[in-house]
Chain A
Amino acid sequence: MIMPHTHSLLLVFFGQCFRICEMWRKAADSRVPLVRQMKDMPEPNMDYSNLRRQIISMKKSLFDQGYLDEQFNQLEELQDDSSPNFVEEVVALFFKDSSRLLTNIEQALEKHPQDFYRLDSLAHQFKGSGSSIGALRMKNECSMFKAHCSNRNLEGCRRSLQKMKREHATLKQKLETYFQLLRQVGPRERAVNSWK
């Protein structure tokens, strides 16, 4: 004997099953990931694959132009469902940390007499965290700066600092664009390294 409220529960249950089946069918038809269907995102296929092309192309150019190296791929490999924004988060920490270091270096350069030991140490920290996120050009410019420190070459340090600031700003802007593009793709789709 089925109680009345059980009966309506069963109806609701079957109704939901039907709805889910419909969604699966639609998803299979349009080849858009189910997660998008469920979120009611209206992007058709075309825009989505254009977006992916853009992201892949931007990443390739960042590598080709030497802004990033293999370590950046390592970071992307560490990103998953349990830590879906890991790369963006660690990059943000790098920029926060390195902005502080740039300010400290600038201040230290203007002190008389210059403490080249301290300047080298600051550049060393910068280089280390840059290397951890795969910021190749940044890392190389830090090496230049450190070389000038060893030679106690103040002018060299000053010039190098300007380059470091430019590289820093450029990389920051490029990565912000890159992450913005990535954010338009669903979180489940963000494993760039696994794309084709």
Chain B
Amino acid sequence: MAVATETPFHVLAVDDSLPDRKLIERLLKTSSFQVTTVDSGSKALEFLGIHGEDSSPPVSVHADQLEVAVNLIITDYCMPGMTGYDLLKKIKESTSLRDIPVVIMSSENIPSRINRCLEEGADEFFLKPVRLSDMSKLKPHILKSRCKEHYHQEQHQQSDSNSNECSNPTNSNSNECSNSRKRKAEDNEEVLPQTNRSRHS
């Protein structure tokens, strides 16, 4: 039986430093993510399709690109103009983007800064330099948010699944979601065997 090829998760990485962008891109690609890098918060918002307060789905609106969904945003905190914190706020204020998990990176270990970000809705805070071992913390956040998304969809639409990850019978779907919420952030791929299985079918 052929194994279906999964589309890798797509991460948008935001950092004004060129060597840092190269590093985060390599870290993400090594961890099997598809990566887009931008050098500022405003370019990130542009890529995410925010021009105003519309409720369009989280896809890129560049005419010369295929529409791609963004599964996670990882951003540096200290950037000129729009900081990572400002970007986080804008994302959380957007109805279409607020469910995308956001991770903040910073070279400074300032507890008040970390707390502020987490309170504003950041899912994770990485101290720079970011390491390969940090990458395993990303997927659980993505899977959690996708389960949430599907749960909401089913609540509103009462329809069957659209051949996405948490697909198949409603019962197993809500089981997977409640399972994922119980897991700790440190767990990685092995965490949601049911989800992985259904993706392969």
Q: Are B22 and A128 in contact (CB under 8 A)?
A: no
Q: How far is the CA of A89 from the CA of B18 in the complex (A)?
A: 11
Q: What is the distance, in angstroms, from B17's C-beta to the closest C-beta of chain A? A: 5
Chain A interface, DSSP helix/strand/loop, else mixed: helix
Interface residues of B, count at CB 8 A: 18
Contact A83-B26, Cβ < 8 Å, known A71-B129, A78-B132, A128-B128? yes
Does B45 touch A at the CB level, under 8 Å?
no
Q: Are A90 and B132 in contact (CB under 8 A)?
A: no
Q: Are B107 and A127 in contact (CB under 8 A)?
A: yes
Q: Which residues of B contact A52 (CB under 8 A)?
A: none
Q: Which residues of A contact B19 (CB under 8 A)?
A: 90-91, 93-94, 97, 129, 132-133
| A111-130 Cβ-contact flags toward B at 8 Å (1 or 0) | 00000000001001101110
Q: How far is the CA of A86 from the CA of B22 in the complex (A)?
A: 9
Q: What is the distance, in angstroms, from B12's C-beta to the closest C-beta of chain A? A: 19
Q: How far is the CA of A129 from the CA of B24 in the complex (A)?
A: 12
Q: Are B26 and A129 in contact (CB under 8 A)?
A: no
Complex partner residue of A125 from B17, B22, B26, B27, CB under 8 angstroms: B17
Q: Are B78 and A132 in contact (CB under 8 A)?
A: no
Q: Are B26 and A90 in contact (CB under 8 A)?
A: yes
Does B82 touch A at the CB level, under 8 Å?
no
Complex partner residue of A132 from B16, B30, B128, CB under 8 angstroms: B128
Q: Are A131 and B18 in contact (CB under 8 A)?
A: no
Contact A78-B129, Cβ < 8 Å, known A97-B17, A127-B107, A132-B19? no
Q: How far is the CA of A78 from the CA of B16 in the complex (A)?
A: 21
Does A176 touch B at the CB level, under 8 Å?
no
Does B68 touch A at the CB level, under 8 Å?
no
Q: How far is the CA of A127 from the CA of B108 in the complex (A)?
A: 11
Q: What is the distance, in angstroms, from A96's C-beta to the closest C-beta of chain B? A: 7
Q: Which residues of B contact A93 (CB under 8 A)?
A: 18-19, 22
Complex partner residue of B23 from A121, A124, A132, CB under 8 angstroms: A132
Considering the complex, give the chain B residue whose CB is closest to the CB of A90. B22
Q: Are B132 and A97 in contact (CB under 8 A)?
A: no
Considering the complex, give the chain B residue whose CB is closest to the CB of A128. B107
Does A74 touch B at the CB level, under 8 Å?
yes
Q: How far is the CA of A131 from the CA of B19 in the complex (A)?
A: 10
Within 8 A of A (CB), among B13-67: 16-20, 22-23, 26-27, 29-30
Q: How far is the CA of A49 from the CA of B4 in the complex (A)?
A: 45
Contact A74-B129, Cβ < 8 Å, known A128-B107, A132-B23? yes
Q: How far is the CA of A78 from the CA of B78 in the complex (A)?
A: 25
Does B116 touch A at the CB level, under 8 Å?
no
Q: Which residues of B contact A97 (CB under 8 A)?
A: 17-19
Task: Using A127-B107, A134-B129 as known contacts, list a sample of 8 further A-B pairs with CB atoms less than 8 Å apart, ordered by residue number in A.
Answer: A77-B132, A78-B30, A90-B22, A90-B23, A124-B107, A128-B20, A132-B19, A132-B129
Question: Would you list 12 pairs from A and B whose C-beta atoms are within 8 A, ordered by A residue?
Answer: A78-B26, A78-B30, A80-B30, A91-B19, A121-B80, A124-B78, A125-B16, A127-B107, A128-B20, A128-B128, A129-B20, A131-B129
